Structure 1
């Protein structure tokens, strides 16, 4: 993506992005079964996930529906009806990154999900 295209894309953002760097993972329900992915960042509108297994790229296509089943350190926190769709897939040096847009913005649940993906090893109270 060119710098100009990147700038235009970032200007369209409606939600603040939060980086997840504490081993946060999510489990997605795919046609081939559940798969764990590292969560790179999350916002009220979506998330970016990463897999070191290049074969997972075959499991995704743009506009494909996904259901996030669990999250947090070790994917131990259940997600209540967190669904979305794939908006982009990129492969780079043996890893796969996927952009997911949530079906409904997380407005009322964002604090819970931020706790799950940024801080918690247990289910937030």
Structure 2
């Protein structure tokens, strides 16, 4: 985000909150490499961007695919998230808008997912 956009939107970030990279996929992969130990799990709601499971596997993690359905707008529900969490879960990949579906989570939906994760402090 260019400095003018930060200023125009009155956003404030500390230098340690900013990371530069060649794109979001590269930055996510770097984060997996830095934070995943062998066998730790990453929850990936499906449908998903094609490379996410491979990125997790290359970082020695275990992708956990959670099928989302049309009835729920191709979005992960709090119940699905709670059922997928294990002691080995370290990440949840959540896109809004989703790729490839374009599904957009409402604030209420995001808060409901956050409520599930609030009791599970090991997941990024």
Whether TM exceeds 0.5 here: the answer is no
Question: Whose radius of gyration is greater, 1 or 2?
Answer: 2
Q: Which structure dedicates a bigger proportion of its chain to strand?
A: 1
Highest RCO, 1 vs 2 (Cα 8 Å, sep ≥ 6) = 1
Instruction: Give the TM-score normalised by the residue count of structure 2.
Output: 0.28
Q: Which structure dedicates a bigger proportion of its chain to helix?
A: 2
